[in-house]
Chain A
Amino acid sequence: MDEIRKRGAMNVNNSRLAGSRLAGGKGEVIVLKLGNGIPVFYNVVPDARTATIALGCKAGAFFEEGFGQKSNDGISHFLEHMFFKGTPELSTREVNEVFTRMGAVLNAYTSYDHTMYFSKVPRMHLSKAATTWGDLMMGIKLDPLEFESERKVVMQEEKLGRDDPMSQAGRRVHHLLFKGTTLEHDIIGSPESLGAITIDMMEAYIASRYNPTNTAIAISGGFMLDEMKSLLEDLFSREPAIPRKLSTSQDHGGINPNWKPGSTIEREPKIRPLCYLAASWAVQGDIEAMYYPMKLVDRLIDNGKNSLFYTDIVSKGICGNASFYYDTFQDIMKGTIIFAAEPSRVELVHETIMGTMKKAKDMPITGDLLERLKRETIGKRLLAFENSLNISTMLVRNKLCRDAMESPVECIASLDNLDVEILQSTRNAFLDGIECAIHVTGNLPPEWEPSNVFE
């Protein structure tokens, strides 16, 4: 095993706010590589009663062949389901019962640029959980009967999304913004693409994406480091049942070079009790430099009861459902606002939201504001870091999506080291001169042309 470095231990004093809370192991991370090159992050918390193992892979909708040919849209997510279906030695029922017996939190998700699998278990069960994950990752079996049964479940999941108007609005505006690029299609795929995915296609996808250079593992919580190191080495040094290619190009080829963020407005007239308006925009550039400052920008705009969205919109009862979020995909950062309102109030809500975004864009970034945002963000992170699930998934996601290896202590220190200038430049890069793609669902007057610029 090749030790990369120990993260965090030397940096505890970097953050005046982290204090002793993340000391004594809680905020430190040791990064080691398995013999086959998979990086493993260990965050040992000696007195923890539970532990989480998270495994992630650079596999997601971004890497599918959807661009130009709709053959395998949704394969990453379908495969995520199939990883729970056992191995030649372990039936689906046995997999489910292993984790059920532990009382585990067991789940997975697929995004555009990675897929994450995780289990949080009482510490005495961690070895068994890690062993089962090792068996599933190396021995995945694509049994035809299980494959067809799970295809029905995934197709039903896709159909389920169509009954959720808020999520549907987010999906539609995403299509609009990234039309003609590798980001255009839905993570879950379409009924047609899901119906066309074959076992052969999935095996080829596993071979090309689920290789050691695209994989990362993190364990956080109560466990013995040496025992876990040796167990993981044994589990992942085995020959996989489906041979994996050593991929040389690990990233997607970038989105269509001719793409420019769209400013289209699309209407979907439909009689519903509420109207849904989704606005989305994107910036392209040095997203990594924006990673930590965006945590504060997010808190300034939307996150928490001191945010502009809360004070200007939610607390005034202007609409019942309004959300703002941002996503990153390699060198692209996307912002999205979705709200639901009664048809008679849509114009007022839209005007208020645009006014709030303008306020966020123009607000002077003072030292006091910076300190408030930092205190709030760091306090929330400290509480979130009590949960090994948050730590382990963060470590894997950071490695896969940013090639970063920051411990919780370093994460706190990075937030604490932000200054007015970087916060201001990040806010400006994210909001200045932005034109949104807009999708409106509902029975709205056709003459209404919502503004899509944060003027």
Chain B
Amino acid sequence: MQGESLTMKFIIEPLPWMHSTTIGIATRHGACHDNIAGLSSVLIPALSRGTRNHDEKNINLLLDGRGSNYYAFTYNDYSVLLIQCLPEEVERSISLLFEFIDMPLLESKVIASEKSKMIQHIASVLDHPFKRLLMYNLERSIFGDSHPYATPRIGFMDSIKDISREALVSCIESEFLVDPMGIIIGKVDATWSRLKELMEDKMDAITSVIRDSHPPPPPVQVPAMNQLVNEDPAVENAYLGMSVRIDPDHESYIYTRFLAAMMGESFGSRMFRRIRDELGLSYIASTVSINIGDHGALSNVMDVASDRVDEAIVALGDIFVDIASNGVGEEEFYLTKNHLLGSMDIMADSPFSLIPALVLSMYHGGPGTFKGMKKAIENVKRDGIHEWMEKIFKKQALSLSVVGNVDPSLVDQTWMKFGKEVQ
């Protein structure tokens, strides 16, 4: 089901086999919209730490204390606040969620502690080379250093220090609610329409500014075959991400999901088969799909022993070249399609997995419903995938990011050699 109120879209998904309900609010405000890097990541946890009606202790007793799970996160261009709870807790949880976005106290001591947590979290990410690749380097190599899409969700130590209470209050009051969506998923029986009305009423009563959209970001400008190497002799391994950027006009949430699944989301994927099973190069061999604004990207990421980095670059490159030149065989096409359809059923058992997929689908022009997404996957045609791949696989869109114990000149040499082979 999908409905719209004057100010709010909805994702309503009855999953009758569940005995919990998950309610939530999604907003199209994320890290790329922050005027200070990492602001949303400090704001989101601070929202649930005290409102005008409930202090932090009270909130924790009403949520965790009653067995509910609260989960909130910021992605590149959207944020979601969710509460999974037993049915008798739903109405109370809806009230709390709206208090979080409409009347947070944002006390100075809370902000100070969230900033301190974030600064130390950043230090731990920087001290973990694979997390460093994923959080700091991958999107910089894809979208360019200074583009908002490359802003790390957790910000930088210095930017976090610069965040003031005024900046957070200003964000929640006038920037944060953009194209907001209500979410009701799980044990949703005849009461769903009442829950929807309740959420609409709460949204109508909100005093903060509700925006339709943020201003568009500047165009992405990155050199062809961009590379970003972060040499770190203190670590044991090297961590690689080879990416293809998907530019406006070609961005397609369903096709991105399809190709990500085929390249590296299962034991039967190309990454797992080639990089891990056949070459024994890596333990982690998977594909990360990124959907931001009207852009997307697919990144094949892996770890590798430092003395095998050149082999890894060649193997990752071969996966891209093979797909671009030979396309997808019929068998692999149906294997991937069935995998995606089956995994949708699995996701439907776990609201915290299903909801981000539905929200992303909806924000990227997709159906935003469980059935709708399954249908969209069923409707994917092999020819359509081929045509799409021909558009996205081009030299200008390829990039490489490497973190770890590597010789930058070897990376450069291998990457440039690969570049000469790519059209």
Known: A305-B64, A315-B56, A342-B123. A383 touches B112 (CB 8 A): no
What's the interface size class on B, roughly? 35 or more
Chain B residues within an 8 Å CB radius of A26:
19
Chain A residue, CB-CB nearest to B120? A320
A84 to B272, CA, bound (A): 13
Q: Is B300's beta carbon under 8 Å from chain A?
A: no
Chain B residues within an 8 Å CB radius of A380:
67, 69
Chain B residues within an 8 Å CB radius of A359:
none
Q: Is B340's beta carbon under 8 Å from chain A?
A: yes
Q: By CB atoms of chain A within 10 A, which of B19, B69, B236, B281 has the most?
A: B19
Q: Is A272's beta carbon under 8 Å from chain B?
A: yes
Chain A residues within an 8 Å CB radius of B266:
96, 99-100, 106
Chain B residue, CB-CB nearest to A305? B60
Q: Please report which residues of chain A, range 293-332, place their CB below 8 angstroms from some CB of chain B when the two chains form the complex.
A: 304-306, 310-311, 314-321
Q: Please report which residues of chain A, range 330-386, place their CB below 8 angstroms from some CB of chain B when the two chains form the complex.
A: 340-342, 372, 375-383, 386
Q: How far is the CB of B348 from chain A (nearest CB, A)?
A: 7
Q: Please report which residues of chain B, range 16-49, place their CB below 8 angstroms from some CB of chain A when the two chains form the complex.
A: 16-20, 49
Q: Is B66's beta carbon under 8 Å from chain A?
A: yes
**Is A103 in contact with B345, judged by CB distance below 8 angstroms?**
yes
Partner of B346, one of A121, A166, A377, A382: A121
**Is B17 in contact with A97, judged by CB distance below 8 angstroms?**
no
Chain B residue, CB-CB nearest to A304? B64
Chain B residue, CB-CB nearest to A148? B280
Chain A 110-146, CB-CB to B under 8 Å as 1, else 0, gives 0000000000111001000000000000000000000
Chain A residues within an 8 Å CB radius of B53:
none
Partner of B113, one of A271, A272, A315, A382: A315
Partner of B277, one of A104, A149, A156, A159: A149
A378 to B128, CA, bound (A): 35
Partner of B64, one of A97, A106, A315, A376: A376
Chain B residues within an 8 Å CB radius of A272:
127, 234
Q: Is A279's beta carbon under 8 Å from chain B?
A: no
**Is B335 in contact with A100, judged by CB distance below 8 angstroms?**
yes
Known: A156-B282, A163-B130. A375 touches B66 (CB 8 A): yes
**Is A96 in contact with B268, judged by CB distance below 8 angstroms?**
yes
Q: Is B129's beta carbon under 8 Å from chain A?
A: yes
Q: Is A49's beta carbon under 8 Å from chain B?
A: yes
**Is A383 in contact with B84, judged by CB distance below 8 angstroms?**
yes
Known: A47-B16, A47-B17, A105-B346. A163 touches B237 (CB 8 A): yes
A92 to B277, CA, bound (A): 8
Q: Is B382's beta carbon under 8 Å from chain A?
A: no
**Is A100 in contact with B339, judged by CB distance below 8 angstroms?**
yes
Residue tally, chain A, CB below 8 Å to B: 73
**Is B116 in contact with A317, judged by CB distance below 8 angstroms?**
yes
Q: How far is the CB of A120 from chain B (nearest CB, A)?
A: 6
Partner of B19, one of A157, A159, A377, A382: A382
Q: Is B399's beta carbon under 8 Å from chain A?
A: no
Chain A residues within an 8 Å CB radius of B63:
305
Chain A residues within an 8 Å CB radius of B49:
315
**Is A104 in contact with B119, judged by CB distance below 8 angstroms?**
no
A97 to B281, CA, bound (A): 20
Q: How far is the CB of B32 from chain A (nearest CB, A)?
A: 23
Partner of A372, one of B20, B61, B117, B268: B61
A372 to B57, CA, bound (A): 13
Chain A 142-183, CB-CB to B under 8 Å as 1, else 0, gives 000000111111001101101111100000000000000000
**Is B67 in contact with A103, judged by CB distance below 8 angstroms?**
no
Q: Is A418's beta carbon under 8 Å from chain B?
A: no
Q: By CB atoms of chain A within 10 A, which of B20, B120, B304 has the most?
A: B120
Chain A residues within an 8 Å CB radius of B340:
103
Q: Is A269's beta carbon under 8 Å from chain B?
A: no
A317 to B122, CA, bound (A): 13
Q: Please report which residues of chain B, range 133-165, place their CB below 8 angstroms from some CB of chain A when the two chains form the complex.
A: none
Chain B residues within an 8 Å CB radius of A92:
277
**Is B67 in contact with A163, judged by CB distance below 8 angstroms?**
no
Chain B residue, CB-CB nearest to A310? B60
Q: How far is the CB of A90 from chain B (nearest CB, A)?
A: 13
A153 to B303, CA, bound (A): 11
Known: A100-B269, A159-B305, A379-B67. A149 touches B278 (CB 8 A): yes
**Is B17 in contact with A49, judged by CB distance below 8 angstroms?**
yes
Chain B residue, CB-CB nearest to A299? B64
Q: How far is the CB of B122 from chain A (nearest CB, A)?
A: 8
Q: Is B174's beta carbon under 8 Å from chain A?
A: no
Chain A residue, CB-CB nearest to B282? A156
Q: How far is the CB of A156 from chain B (nearest CB, A)?
A: 5
A388 to B348, CA, bound (A): 12
Q: Please report which residues of chain B, range 68-124, place their CB below 8 angstroms from some CB of chain A when the two chains form the complex.
A: 68-70, 84, 86, 112-124
A378 to B86, CA, bound (A): 11
Q: Please report which residues of chain A, range 24-52, place their CB below 8 angstroms from some CB of chain B when the two chains form the complex.
A: 26, 45, 47-50
A13 to B50, CA, bound (A): 38
Chain A residue, CB-CB nearest to B348? A49
Chain B 344-375, CB-CB to A under 8 Å as 1, else 0, gives 11101110000000000000000000000000
Q: Please report which residues of chain A, range 376-410, place their CB below 8 angstroms from some CB of chain B when the two chains form the complex.
A: 376-383, 386-388
Chain B residues within an 8 Å CB radius of A157:
283
Chain B residue, CB-CB nearest to A125? B342
Chain A residues within an 8 Å CB radius of B404:
163
Partner of B341, one of A103, A162, A315, A386: A103
Chain A residue, CB-CB nearest to B18? A386
Partner of B339, one of A103, A166, A318, A379: A103
**Is B67 in contact with A378, judged by CB distance below 8 angstroms?**
yes
Partner of B342, one of A47, A121, A310, A382: A121
A411 to B30, CA, bound (A): 41
A153 to B63, CA, bound (A): 42
Chain A residues within an 8 Å CB radius of B344:
103
Partner of A149, one of B16, B86, B280: B280
Q: Is A255's beta carbon under 8 Å from chain B?
A: no
Partner-A contacts on B (CB < 8 A): 16-20, 49, 56-57, 60-61, 63-70, 84, 86, 112-124, 126-130, 234-237, 266-269, 272-273, 276-284, 303-305, 335, 338-346, 348-350, 404
22 CB-based A-B contacts, threshold 8 Å: A45-B17, A84-B267, A96-B272, A99-B266, A102-B338, A153-B283, A156-B303, A157-B283, A162-B236, A163-B128, A163-B129, A163-B235, A272-B234, A273-B126, A317-B116, A319-B117, A320-B121, A340-B123, A380-B67, A382-B86, A383-B69, A387-B349
Q: Which 8 A-B pairs have the closest CB atoms?
A: A379-B67, A103-B342, A320-B120, A100-B268, A317-B113, A317-B116, A152-B280, A103-B343
Known: A101-B268, A388-B349; 20 extra A-B contacts, CB below 8 A, are A48-B17, A49-B348, A96-B268, A102-B339, A103-B339, A104-B342, A105-B346, A149-B279, A153-B276, A160-B283, A163-B235, A164-B128, A271-B234, A272-B127, A305-B60, A305-B63, A317-B113, A321-B120, A321-B124, A383-B84
